[in-house]
Amino acid sequence: MTSEQPRELFTIHGDAIIGPTGRPKHEFPVPKALDGHGPARTIAMVNQKGGVGKTTSAINLGAALAEYGRRVLMVDFDPQAALSAGLGTSPHDLETTVYNVMMEREVSARDAIVSTHVQGVDLLPANIDLSAAEVQLVNEVAREQVLDRALRPVRDDYDVIIIDCQPSLGLLTVNALTAAHGVVIPLVAEFFALRAVALLVDTIEKVQDRLNPDLEVDGVLVTMVDLRTLHSKEVISRIVEAFGEKVFETVIKRTVKFPDATVAAEPITSYAQKHEGAKAYRQLARELVARGGAP
Residue 20 resides in a domain = no
Residue 12 resides in a domain = no
172 pLDDT above the threshold of 70: yes
Q: What whole-number distance in Å separates Cα of residue 122 and Cα of residue 116? A: 6
Tens digits of residue pLDDT in 207-228: 999 999 999 999 999 998 887 8
Q: What is the pTM of this model?
A: 0.91
Which of 16-20, 186-190, 270-274 comes out lowest in average pLDDT? 16-20
Distances (CA, A) of 257 to 3, 59, 90, 270: 19, 14, 22, 12
Percentage of residues of the chain with pLDDT beyond 90: 64
Q: What whole-number distance in Å separates Cα of residue 274 and Cα of residue 268? A: 9
Range of the domain at 170: 33-290
Angle between helices 54-67 and 276-290 (to 10 degrees): 70
Residue 168 resides in a domain = yes
Torsion 99-41-290-32 (CA) sign: negative
Tens digits of residue pLDDT in 190-201: 887 777 788 899
Q: Domains in the chain: how many in total? A: 1
Query: Residue 230: its pLDDT value, please?
Result: 86
Residue 11 resides in a domain = no
Residue 26 resides in a domain = no
Residue 286 resides in a domain = yes
Tens digits of residue pLDDT in 75-101: 999 999 999 999 999 988 899 999 999
Query: Residue 5: its pLDDT value, please?
Result: 45
- Strands 72-77 and 121-124, bridge-based pairing: parallel
Tens digits of residue pLDDT in 101-127: 999 999 999 999 999 999 999 999 999
Query: Residue 16: its pLDDT value, please?
Result: 55
Q: Return the CATH number at 270.
A: 3.40.50.300
pLDDT (average), residues 16-37: 81
Residue 253 resides in a domain = yes
3 pLDDT above the threshold of 50: no
Residue 14 resides in a domain = no
2 pLDDT above the threshold of 60: no
Residues 101/104/108/113 CA torsion (nearest 10 deg): -30
Which of 95, 97, 74, 249 minimizes the C-alpha distance to 162? 74
Q: Which residues contact 7 (CB under 8 A, 6 or more apart)?
A: 1, 276
